[in-house]
Structure formats: structure tokens, C-alpha cells
Structure 1
């Protein structure tokens, strides 16, 4: 039943009619309910049906005998309806029962019972109890997109004022509930004894701020008087004299409230407070700071930027002034540190010819030890930090490209800083200069010749951080240029052998040259450094032969037919390399001088005139060597009924390589060390890589009693061809729920997928109790009383977890055994473990640790526990062992609106925490 009331006029003709003679077209012929009984003054007996008015509402004239014209001063048409019934009494009063609705312009009101009085332009709405006593159909009031739910509501259309009890409305990310509210106008509401929460369970919130009084501007903000916090129904002694809650959904600037806490060494502090600048839709900026009661302070600037299809990045610049202890006392210290983090990446669509990328992590040596946020992060254990900025430009329709790079490397252990800037590289990709543009006939041999070019300019300096800016640009910085031109070709002879001759030309350009001489009067070496332009060039030629040899082995029949074939692939390579002796005086790269040693004997010392040069100098001595290399691959083909082709390959040895060389031109020690490497595919996602170097010569003591390598092969001494000189490997592996799925009967995911595909049904249990007459078996949800049930009928064990091992082991020469004239072996190991487990959907436990094998104890461990408590979260981190024992406790609201409603408690790494 729906009726429309125009704001122009309401014309009614009233005919008094006994209730028992009302016709079927009466607008209301039902027993009036509670609201009618409460608000009708037509009878004193609530059980007696009142006399009703038969009313026709029109927009113009009336054909009745008695006309009463009433002017209603409204700005919009009022549409009202009721699902159950509607009763119109008097002239301008309506009662609506059962899902009553009123629409007036942008205002909408829904409730189970509504009383509308057009004389006073007011409405009154309430909910009603159902058969079990629960209130249903509470009033829901919508004013221009802002919705309010309440128990009772009275509203005036004309003045736009209203009175609401137990309101429920969402403002921004939070909910305003309870209390008594007065709506003064469209933009202002006053509330008393209400509560504000960001918990979406607003009926029984996990936490809320109890507001004694507040002024609310819907969609804008709320200002409150005294308020206190209630957590899990328990009032806490955490109160504020006033509060401000912004509800703006627009991207805007605003204040960042600080965090309060205390530090053992620096006192109480306010941290991470400042101002957020919404600069534009593509960039923002947050300026924050921290201050301590003992004098320490810090500043930080953070920004993110993004230009779609162009670039994206962020930067973080921090400055810390740390003061510990009391001035004038022995423990007083004062330090200044800073950090620069910058990450930038360019979209490939922005410019196909040029790219710019940056990954900067520059930190002074003491920053990590003084920054509170670094205690429980991986940055605290990093010994080396590196930064790189790179720009590459590829010339259009050309083989040339230009790249410039800036590199900074820091070593926290000794505060060493290595800077390399600018580094410029020019490259020309491979080309065939003698290739015909329009080839006719077979390819000529000279057309296979290929050439490429690369040029480098580097400028670098390595120094302590406190001495870096004191170094001289000319005397201390190392710089130079290098040009490389490789020329090669590949020919095939006798169908199976590949021959590759090559020539490599290298030119180095330096700006300093050092000459040395002996000063017999002073008894020491004198240096003479000249600054000019010097060319240091060399060349070498080589030719290599390689082929592949295949061998097949089929196991004997009595061993079974599981293995079909074993294949062995051998790739031998032989190469000859030659170059002149660049230590000859003809080239001028090396010098020498004579001097008398402490025993008066005449000695001759040779030296390089370009020491510590960036690209080195050509080697001494002639080179005329032959190199041998042998690569092996071993695979096995086995039958497999589960495979689509009925067989599959298994790698026994993925790669086993041996290489060594012999220098004919050398006067001694012509054999090089033997190098070996092996790669085994142990599992589907795990490979073992192992490389080793074998020493083929023996050792003796020189005149000073120090061990030196001598020109005697170990084989001639009966000690075998070589002794293991160095080897090492590293690997990591992660165990998780899927690792042991097959062991616990979970099956393989591919098998499940194949099974589901064959059955063309989802992987859900079947309810076999359903009879065929009802449509046969049906799929049901595999849950019982809210518990996930597995395929075996038991509760599904679903606890996500993972455990990652990172292990590296290296073997090398250690101390020298003077009795056996052999070096002793030394093993160096590193092990780190990390993992986490989520026993429930809300709890999460994680840890990371490293083990020191030399000291046989844990070097560092960081543990963390987190609990998701619906609308707020709790985290605890602690370092239980080592010199940096400390802890951190944090609890905060999840909502970004109340992100500053949090509590932090942390210790310092040096406050003597004991467990």
C-alpha cells in the first residue's frame, strides 16, 4: 500500500462511518497496533476500534460534499508506504505497520512502525518485538548517503532536526554507536554517552572509546570531550581529555601522531610523529621526528612516487643525533649517523631506448646500533651494504649502447667505504664485418669472422668513512680506461669437430706511473710518481677444438627391464693459447733495481710501474699453453607408467667437468692447478653444485724458513696427482606442509587434479545417504559443527608452517705443517635457519637464527610472536642470545584511522636483559 503527499496541498473529504460498516476499499480496516494506541486520542478504550476517516488524497479537485483544504509547507513530495497496513487518522496523521518506508527528497526512513504527522512535519519510528521478544525492524535513517540505525527516532522534515536513541552509524572506518543523539541540521549531530570503534562487530566490539559527549559532522570529523578506552568489556585507565577523529575519504594531508615509549639509555621518547603532505596523486611526503629526554633526537623524510607507465620508487632519509650517559661522566657519548634508502625503477613502456634503475642503501656504521627499528630486522645483522644506480641508453637502429653506473659498498665491521663513480661502459654488440648484404651461393669462410667492442672508464676509492672526504681526487682516487676488442670465428671440419680461432686485444689507459729505486744512504726504497697519460696494452691468440662423444649402455636382461638405456655424453675441448712476455723492457710495463740485503748480498727486485691499477697489467713471462677440458653428462631413461609417453629421464650426473693447462713457454711450474666441478640433480627442486681446486706441486722452506711452492710435481713424489686445495658449496632448502604430504597420505596435487578431471567433479565428499529418487549422491560441504573434515573422516590438520635452512661449507688451506711440509686443511661453515608456524588462524610464531661453528654456539637469534585479535593486533619480538639481547612489545589498532592508538614497550640492546 503506497500513498503520495504533494507539497502543494492536501484535500480531504471526511465521512464519519461506523467501523462495522466500512467497505472493502477502506484504506485501513485492521485492528490498530501499539503505536496507534499510544498516539491516537480518538478513544479512551485501547481495545475498542476507533472511528476512522475514509480519505482520498488528490492533487487538485474533489467530488465530495465536504472539502477542507490544508496547506502543508514542504519542499519535496513525501512518498510513504507500508507492507502490512496503513492507518490514516484525522486529516494529516498516518500510521504505517510492517516495513514502513518514507522518502522525502534525499532522505529515506525505514522502520517496522512509523507515525507521520504532516501538521508538525515530524515522523516517529520504532522497531517492534517479534514472537520471541527480539526487536526487529529498527529505524534506519538515510540522509544524503549517510545511514543511521537506531532504536527510536523522531525527525522533523522542515527543520531537519531529530532525536535518536542508541544510534548505529558508520563514519569513515569506524562506527559510532549507543547513547542519545540530537541531529541539529544536515551536517551536525550532538551525541552523549556514545562509543566509537573501528571493530566491524559494532554490537559487541572488542574495543571502543567511551565518549561522554561529542560533536559529529557526518563524512567530515568528530570532536569529543573526555573519553576513555574499553578493551574486551573492561574499562582501562587510559583516558584523554578530548579527541579528534577525521572521517575524510579523500587523499589529504594531516598530522602524524607520535608514539610514546622509553629507552634504557636515552630515556623517555616521542617517536614517529610529524606531518603527512599529500603533494599530488603521484607523490607524497611524510616528515617525522623523534626526541628523547636525555637529549637524543632524529629526523626522517619518507616519500613514494608513481607515474603510471613511466616510473615508480620511494626514498627514506634519516638523521640521528644520539647522546647517552651524563655529560662529564665516563659513559657519556655523542654520535651523529644518517641513512639514505632509495629505490627507483622505470617502466619498460616509458622509453624503449633508455632505462634508469636505482637501489641505494647507504648507512653510516653506527646508524643500525642506534636506530630502534633496526633491532628486530635483518638490517641489524648485515655486515655489508651496497648501493647501485644505473642508467643505460641504447642508440636507436644501432649496435651501440652506453651505460653509466655508480656503486657504493660499505663494510660495517671496520667502517670501510668503497665508492666507484662514475663508471661508464660503451659496448658494441657482435657484428660480422665481412658478411655480404646479398649472399649468393654458400657462405664464405671470412664471412664467419665476428668482432665486438667494449670500453670502460672507472673511478674508485676505498677508505675509512671518517677519512673518505680527506682523500685527494688526483693522488688517492684510482681511475683508468680499458678497451677490449675480441675477434673470433667458428668453423666445422670433418663434420664433427668445431674449430674456433680468436684474437683478443686489450688496451688500458692510466694517469699515474710509479718508478722505484734503492737509496743506499737511507737504506730504503724511493718512489717517484708521475702524472700523465699512459697506454698499457696486450694481446693474445688462441685456437680451440671441441666435439661431442655419445656412449650408450643397455643393462643386461637379468637386471630387469625398468632401465631402458643409460647415456653418457663427453665433451672434450683442447685449446692452444699464446702471448709474448710483456715484462720485457720493450713494453716498459715493469722495472727493476738492485740492492744489498741485510747480509750484504746483491739482490735484484722487479716491480710493476702501475701498481694498484684498476684493470691490472699484462702478466709476466711468455705464454704458450695447451688447455684440456672434459665435460661429462650421465642420464638414464626408465619406464614409467604414470608418464604420458611411458618413460622418463633421470639425471645421474648433470655435469662433471675437469680442466687443466700446460705452459710450454714457462721455465718452471708449467702445469696449472687441476679444476673440477660437479652438479648433481638430487631432487626436483634441489641441485648440488660443488667446485674444487687441486694443487699439483709440493712445498719446501726457503732461506727465511717460510713455505714456498717448488717445481716438483706431487706425482713424482708419490703423493698422487693433486691435493685438494679449496672447495666449497652452499645450498638452501625449505620444508613446509607440502614437503611430507605424500608421507601422510595427502597424495600428490597432480594426482588429485587428474582424478578430479577424470571424474569431472570437484574434490568434495559425497553424501551417500541421499536416495537415488532424490537425485542420487550429492556433494556436500566438508564441514561439521564448524570443523573442517578431511577425506578420511577425521578433522583436517591445517597448520601452515615452513622451515628454511641455508648452509655453506668451504675447505681451504690453513696452517702449515712444517714436519710434513704440507698445508693443513681448514673447514669454514655457516648455518642459518628461519621459519614460522601458524597453529591457528590468528597466532603466528617465527624465528631466524645463525650458528657460529668456531665458537659452537648461536651467534644471533630473533624470535617474534604475533596475535591477530580481529580489530587490533599484538606483536612481540625478542633477541634471547648474544650481545644484543633485547625485547619489543607492540599492541595497536589495525585501522589506519586509529593507527596511533597503540602501546610500545622495548628494551635497549645494552640494558643488560637477562632471561
Structure 2
């Protein structure tokens, strides 16, 4: 072809495009080329649009009238746009077509300029790898496929190898027809929660299905495929998958299994009620073939900036053994758990909170839903509900509490309802409102008030609701009024006098008599009425603070700058009358004739056992001595010649002792010593010690030791003998522990700086901007091979880490044990307690953890649990077992990780009752 001929063809093509543009403008078409990403390669153009559909693509959309589109269609391409004589536009390299809220992106796009048809497909690189899969967006929905043919006029399309995310799962299909109402009709579809879309580990094969995006999926016959192995026996004639963007009501599928003791069961099945945006409710039940059954209700509620909480109630009927045989037992138990927390911003003056954990004593032993029930080993439980009201610009605070304490070992229960306290914070009643001049001495006098009103009972669980509110319940009220002041004398001495008054109101008193058979005082008669029991005391204390400084001699160097000793001595005197005197009437003398015919007199109080006790007998003239010590040292740091660092040598060393001048005997108290040492910021040693200051004798007749009114220092045995002490400490070893000790590891900051990707020069990870190593755009696409990401160092090598930790807690207590008549001293009894736990992650997907308790008396591990977890990508494998102790058992489960298919699992477990031996 000659040059002239080529020039003529080019001129004709230009005029052709001009003619098309004019016709398009006159015809009102909206097809218009907005932009071309690669300048010079794009050829803008527009043609008249018809509504006639491509019969080869969509057989049901033919013979329509020609009509224009409702909006502008814009298109672009990163590489080039080629227009042909057949009114086809070819977009190469990241092509993009937009129409209203519809957007189509693909590596290759073919667009008919005379119709509303568009065809998209993937591209191939130099080695035959697929990339640039078509991505179709319609509002909030996205569909990714290998090929797609779509009609903008009818909004219908034909898709091959489509993939879309619905809820927590993914839907794929070989052939799909998209309808104008966004419904997808599929043949040979798959539903899975595995994100390995092209080769999932498992999926539900759907012979045919209708997908309503964000609503549901309705299928024909389905069956499960696991690792490419079809499980035809696990098929269903149809299936329904609902989706919802908000929480809604629905059925809770039960789990099934069997136990030797209670038989086959269906458990934890019921219905979930989405009551409102603030509260929900789940009603579940369980039933066993041997007669046991149970019901449960769980609810969570939350209102932002107001309150939040959880409520859990259950009722359980347990039948064990065969009726009519000795091993038959029937237990009816219930449990209530309730936690309520009020947001501090809701009301600064009012607060309501609850922490209820109440259950019958046998509930936790019969509730075996979990592998090991920690509550079954708890001997005590506590529940409380508290309401507090503070008044603005007022010193008074009102608090009401309900407390329930249980002891499972003997089914005893202690209930306090109500427990009301009224507190008045400290006030200065004599302080002038408009003070002029210096503060007067009486203006320093302060007082406060605390009042308690309690109603309680100690009984058994089965007798609680049969008790009498007057005869069985104890009720009382107590008032406490302390008055105090602090004065400075001689500038450095603080004098603090105080006066304390306590009054108790009781509604009953009990007269006692001596029982010769039991050889002790027993209750004889209880009288109900109003009784006042009071006591008061006065005291004065003096305290000051002394400082001592010591600078080491110069020839010892200047490393230690200064040593400081803070010494805080304190002495106080408190006096009180003898409230055991007959003029107060709080104590009585009872005279009886013993078995030997001798007259004996016993002093007792009719108010013994009452809620707030009784005043102490005997005069009190108590002198108390106490000292606190603190020793610190300042040393020069090596990093900075001018800087110093403070080190605590003895954080606190306290000693205290009392002397009762009014007592007839045993005037000295035990010596109490407290020691606190700070070894580091994370570890502090606390020791509280009590030293016995008296000697002992031994009664050969009764075989019992007794205390002698003779001080140890008078017998040459020192100031005192250690009676009791104890401490506990814990520590955790992990990867960083050895890095700090041996300096072989890098700090966290260094690790983070060196693990920012593959170590490119600009420090960026190629995948952070959506580009993979081969230059393809990832952008969160579903199709395509997934790259296994891993942490790398600055040189691009994969960082291999094995996180682990080992923690232990050790407790030590030293107390008096048995008495040694030869030495006339008590032998020591040492008790230990040790608990430890650990975890390790040898690989990215394997995890192992355990916790155990060691019993030093039996010299063996009393309790231990172990857990192994394996992340199988879209599945989760867990194994738990208790290898020792009375609760020896195991549990094994393989389940889908997604909560949507949580019932798709294999569960195998044993019951601790199966391993028990019955004699």
C-alpha cells in the first residue's frame, strides 16, 4: 500500500469519528469517553446507544426498542483504547467503565459503542500467569470473576467463575446469570468460609442456587466436600443461608453427645431473641436420655454512657443411677449470675453496681458442660449488690448493700440484707466561716460519723427460706463518732488527741447457764427488746520525723554520694474504763456447782455472738510505741558525671509494741515487725512478722501448754520469738528475660524497625501500596494466588520467633505448730504453695499452654490442665486434657473457625465421672 493510500485511510477515519460524534450528539446518547489514562493512546468517541441486546450473550433480551441510557458512561484505560470499524472499543491495561453506581474494572474490556453491551476478561503475563480479573461493583456489592458479559440497559449479565463475599463466607460458581434485581442464579456453586477461594479446604457444593446479596442463599441439593473428597452421605435436599448486617433473632442449634452417667444428650439448643439495640436474650435447654434436663437464660444489656451488664440464670435437674437402687440420686439445682456496672459519667452522685454469683452447693458438681469446671473446686462464693448516694454540698453519704456468702463444703450460707451505712465525712464544727487573724486552737477539732444498720443470718441452704425474720435473723445498728485534732508543738512535734464513742443497738439478748454434760456455757433464754451497748475511749499521740545523713569517707570513692535515714517515732496513750463492771450491765456473773461440788463463777455477756460484739473487759491504760524507718542511697551514674540515681536500701522497716498499765498481768503485747524491700520496679518483698514476748509452761494433766506471765528477756531468751510470718512472690520468664540477662537479643524498638517488610531501600513493603512482587495490583482481590506473608529483617530474611513464657507464684508461711514439752517452745510449721503456668508457640499455627498447682503436703501435682491449639487455616483444632487429679478427663474438637458454621465440627470428650472408682 502506498503512502498516499495510507494517508487517505487516516483522513477517512478522522471524518468517520467526527460523523459518529455528530450523530451521537443529535441522538442524545450518553456514551462519552471521559478520559484515557495513557495520553496519546486513547481515542475518545461516542455513538448512538440502542437497547437491543446481544443475543449470543443474553438469550432473553432481544427485540427491544432502541432507547438511550439514563446517565453518562465513562471509560478509561491505563495502556490504550482502540476503536474499530464495527463500533467496538477495546480497553487494554486496567480498563475501567462507569455507569451510574455501576463500575467494571478488568485488564481487558470490550465495549460495543452501538449497544449497551460490555465484555471483560483477565490478562496473561509473559509466563502465562493470569492477572487483572474483572471486578464488578454495583452499589455496595462486588463480584469478581474471570469473564463477565453485562448489559447496561437491562442490567443483566452472564459471568463465569464468579466469586463474591456474603456474610462471613464466600460464594463461587462456574456459571452465573445476574438478573436485573441483583439476584444471582448459579449452577455448580460453592459456599465456604475458607479464603483460599480457588482451592478451599472445605466447601458446601451447591448443584444450583439463588443468591440474594446481603439477604440469603437458597439452594437445591447440597453436600459437603472436604479436601476435595465429596461426602455424599452428608447431603441435604436443600439448604438456606440467611445473612444480616445487624443482629437478629434466630434458632440456636444444639450440640449432641453422650455420657456414661446421664446418657445421650442434646445440649445448649434454643432460641436467641434480639429484643432491641440495648438488650438481648438467649433461652437454651439441655436434655438427657436418663432423665436429666436443664433450662438456662442469658442476657446482655448495654446503654452507652449509662450502664452495662450481664445476666445468667439456669435450672438443672440431675438424675444419676437407676431408680430404686442405692446409687440413685436426684438433685435440683439453680444458678444466678449477674454483673451490673454503671458508667461514671451517668451520675456523679449516685452509683449502682452488682456482682452476683449464687448457686446451690451441688450445681457446679452436676454442671459438666465444660471439660473442667473451675467453680466446682471453689469452697466459697460471694455475691454483692451495692447502691451509693452522695449529696452535693453535703458531707453525708448513704450506701446500701446486700451480701451473700456461701460455703460449698457444708452447704452453709450467710446473708446480710440489708446492710445500710450512713457516713459523714470529717467536718470542723468550730471553724469560723469568715476567719480573721490566725487559726484558733479549737478550730482544728474535727469529727465524723459512721452508722451501720445490718440484718443477717447464718444458716443452711435448705433452711434459708424457712427461717423466722425475728428469731433466726440478727439485726443491729452501730454508731461511731470519732473526734480528733492535731497540734504542732515546738515546731517539729505533732500532738494528736482523740476521743471515740461507739454505741450499739441490739434487739435481743441471751441468758446463759452452765451445762455439766457439755462442760460449757449454753443458751438458756432469749429476750427480745431494745438494748444499748456502748463504749468510749480517749487517746493522745505524739509523733515526729528525724533525718540522718551519712557521706562515705573520701578514700572510698565518690560513687556513693549520700545515704539518708528517715526515722519516724511515735508514742500514744489511750485510756478506757472497765466495761465489764456491773454498773454498765454488759457482763454478768453466773455461779454454779461443778461435778466435784465446788462453786464456780463464770463471767459472760448476754450480748455474746451479736453482730457488732461487746466492749472489752478490764481497764485500759495502753501505751503504744512504734517506729518507721526508711534508708535510701544516692549514687553517681556512669552515663552522666553530673547525674545521680536514688536506690532504696530499706523501703520500710516498722516496729510496734503495746504496754497496758491498767492490766493485772500480761501487760506487754507481741512485737510486730514489718519489712519492705524493693529489689526492682517489678518486684517488692513484703514481710510481716509477729514475735512472741512471753514464755510458756506445760500442764502434764491436761497435756496443754499455757502462757506464763514472764517476759522472754527476763528469762534470757531474747526480746521475742518469731510466732508467724509469710511472704509470696511471682515471676515470669519469657523471650525478653534472657535478652535482658545475657544481652543476646534486640530491643522491641529495634525489632520493629528491622521488620518493616522485605528491606527495600525506601523502607516500603511492596504489598502496602497494593502491588505484589510481579507488579500486579492486589488491592484486596479475592481471585489470584495468596501470598504467605511473614516478618522479615532488614536483609530480607524471614524472622523465626518462638514466643514462650513461664510464670510461677510461690507462697511461704511460718507459724507455730505442735508444742515441745522438753524445750518449752512451739515447734515451727512451714507451709508452701506453688502454682505455675506457661505457654509456647513453636510455629505460627501451633499453641500450647498449661497451668498447675503443686501440693507440698502430698508431694505431687494436685491440679493441672493442658491445652493444645492448631490453626488449620479455616478450621480450628483444640485439645484439652487434665492428666492428674480427681477431674482427670480430656476433650478434642475440630471445628470451622467461622461462627456462621460453628455447628460443623467433630467433638469428642470424656467426663470426669467416667474415671472415678466406686466402692
Q: Does 1:476 align with 2:479?
A: no
Q: Which residue of 2 aligns with 1:76?
A: 70
Q: How many Å separate the matches in 2 of 1:68 and 1:410? A: 85
1:396-415 alignment, distance < 5 Å = 396-415=392-411
Contact 2:224–2:231 under 8 Å retained in 1: yes
Distance 1:68 1:535 in 2: 105
SS state of the match for residue 529, structure 1?
Answer: strand
**Equivalence for 1:216:** 211
Offset of residue 187 of structure 1 = 4.2
Q: 1:604 to 1:232 in 2, by over 3 A?
A: same
Aligned-partner Cα distance in 2 for 1:27–1:337: 91
Partners in 2 of 1:81 and 1:410 — Cα distance?
75
1:571 corresponding residue in structure 2: 568
1:497 to 493, 497, 506: 493
Asked if the contact 2:654–2:674 (Cα under 8 Å) also holds between the matched residues in 1, the reply is yes
1:484, distance to aligned residue in structure 2 (A): 0.4
Counterpart of 1:291 in structure 2 is: 287
Unaligned 5+ segments in structure 1 are: 1-17, 31-52, 771-776
Say if 1:138 and 1:731 are closer, same or farther in 2 by CA, change over 3 A. closer
Which residue of 540, 547, 553 maps to 1:543?
Answer: 540
Q: Given the superposition, is the C-alpha separation of residues 662 and 113 from structure 1 closer, same or farther in structure 2, using an over 3 Å criterion?
A: closer
Alpha-carbon shift at residue 263 of structure 1 (Å):
2.9
Change (3 A) 1:250 1:27: farther
Cα deviation code 1:23-42 (max 9, x no counterpart): 25627999xxxxxxxxxxxx
Equivalent of 1:249, from 216, 221, 245?
Answer: 245
What's the counterpart of residue 606 of structure 1?
Answer: 603
Aligned residue in 1 for 2:676: 679
Aligned residue pairs, count: 857
Aligned to 2:190: 195
Partner of 2:307: 311
- For residues 575 and 455 of structure 1, the distance between their equivalents in structure 2, rounded to whole angstroms, comes to 27
Q: Tell me how far 1:651 sits from its aligned partner.
A: 1.0
CA contact (8 A) 1:567 1:635 kept: yes
Match of 1:426 among 422, 425, 444: 422
Which SS does the other structure have where 1:23 is aligned? helix
Equivalent residue number for residue 38 of structure 2 = none
Contact 1:500 1:545 survives alignment (8 Å): yes
Question: In the superposition, relative to structure 1, how do residues 238 and 553 fare at CA in structure 2: closer, same or farther (>3 Å)?
Answer: farther
In the alignment, which of 350, 354, 379 is matched to residue 354 of structure 1? 350
Residue from 763, 786, 800 that aligns with 2:803? 800
Other structure's SS at 2:375 match: helix
Residue 216 of structure 1: how far off its partner (Å) = 1.4
Q: Of residues 820, 824, 831 in structure 1, which corresponds to 2:823? A: 820
CA contact (8 A) 1:376 1:877 kept: no
TM-score by length of 1: 0.86
Q: In the alignment, does 2:600 pair up with 1:596?
A: no
> Closer, same or farther in 2 for the Cα pair 1:266/1:526, shift >3 Å?
closer
Q: Given the alignment, which residue of 164, 169, 188 partners 2:164?
A: 169
How many angstroms apart in 2 are the aligned matches of 1:436 and 1:388?
42
Distance 1:825 1:116, change over 3 A: same
2:248 partner SS: coil
Give the distance between the partners of 1:766 and 1:332, measured in 2 at CA: 66
- CA gap of 1:420–1:111, structure 2 versus 1, over 3 A, is same
Structure 1 CA distance for aligned equivalents of residues 292 and 347 of structure 2: 46
Q: Displacement of 1:541 after TM fit?
A: 0.7
Q: What does 1:579-728 correspond to in 2, within 5 Å? A: 579-642=576-639, 646-702=643-699, 704-728=702-726
Question: Could you tell me how far 1:155 is from its partner in structure 2?
Answer: 4.2
Residues 67-123 of structure 1: CA distance to partner in whole angstroms, max 9, x if unpaired?
A: 999751466357364644455666x87666665555454444444555666888655
Q: 1:61 to 1:332 in 2, by over 3 A?
A: closer
**TM-score, normalising length: structure 2:** 0.86
Pair 1:863-2:872 in alignment: no
2:275 counterpart SS class: strand
1:388 Cα deviation after fit: 1.6
Q: Distance in 2 between matches of 1:496 and 1:477?
A: 53
Cα distance, 1:585 vs structure 2: 0.8
Mean CA deviation greater in 170-179 or 505-514 = 170-179
Shift of 1:858: 0.7
Rounded to whole Å, the distance in 1 between the matches of 2:223 and 2:862 is: 45
Deviation, structure 1 residue 594: 1.1
Query: Counterpart of 1:742 in 2: which secondary structure?
Result: helix
RMSD in angstroms over aligned alpha carbons?
Answer: 3.6
Bigger shift: 444-453 or 92-101? 92-101
Partner of 1:140: 135
Q: Structure 1 residues 240 and 592, CA, compared in 2 at 3 Å: closer, same or farther?
A: farther
Q: Give 1:342 deviation, angstroms.
A: 1.4
Q: Look up the SS of the partner of 1:657 in the other structure.
A: strand
SS at 2:481 equivalent: strand
Q: Equivalent residue of 2:26, what SS?
A: coil
Cα deviation, residue 380, structure 1: 4.3
Q: Counterparts of 1:68 and 1:683 in 2: how far apart (Å)?
A: 83
Q: How does 1:224-263 map to 2 (within 5 A)?
A: 224-236=219-231, 239-241=234-236, 242-263=238-259
| Counterpart Cα distance in 2 of 1:343 and 1:681 | 37
Q: Which residue of 1 aligns with 2:26?
A: 60
Residues 304-348 of structure 1: per-residue CA shift (max 9 Å, x gap)? 211111111112222222223333344333222222221111112
The verdict on how the C-alpha distance between 1:422 and 1:894 changes in structure 2, with shifts beyond 3 A counting, is same
| Pairwise CA distance, 1:641 | 2.8
Alpha-carbon offset, residue 54 of structure 1: 7.2
CA contact (8 A) 1:267 1:292 kept: yes
Judge conservation of contact 2:810–2:835 (CA < 8 Å) in 1: yes
CA deviation string 1:801-856 (max 9, x = no partner): 22222222222222222343332221222111122222233222111111111111
> Are the aligned partners of 1:764 and 1:781 in contact in 2 as well (CA < 8 Å)?
no
Say whether the 8 Å CA contact 1:260–1:270 is kept in structure 2: yes
- Give yes or no for contact 2:281–2:299 (8 Å, CA) kept in 1: yes
**8 Å CA contact 1:78, 1:102 repeated in 2:** no
**CA-CA distance at 1:251 after TM superposition:** 2.8
Aligned-partner Cα distance in 2 for 1:120–1:764: 56
Shift of 1:134: 3.3
- Tell me how far apart the structure 2 counterparts of residues 310 and 519 of structure 1 sit (CA, whole Å): 59
Relative to structure 2, which stretch is displaced further, 540-549 or 837-846? 837-846
8 A Cα contact 1:879 1:887, kept in partner: yes
Q: What is the SS of the residue equivalent to 2:639?
A: coil
Asked if the contact 1:55–1:88 (Cα under 8 Å) also holds between the matched residues in 2, the reply is no
Check whether the contact 2:27–2:48 (CA below 8 A) recurs between aligned residues.
no
Question: Which stretches in structure 2 are left out of the alignment for 5+ residues?
Answer: 29-46, 51-64, 768-772, 774-787
- Distance in 2, matches of 1:488 and 1:666, equals 26
Q: Aligned equivalents of 1:648 and 1:744: distance in 2?
A: 24
Asked whether the equivalents of residues 839 and 848 of structure 2 are also in contact (C-alpha less than 8 Å), the reply is yes
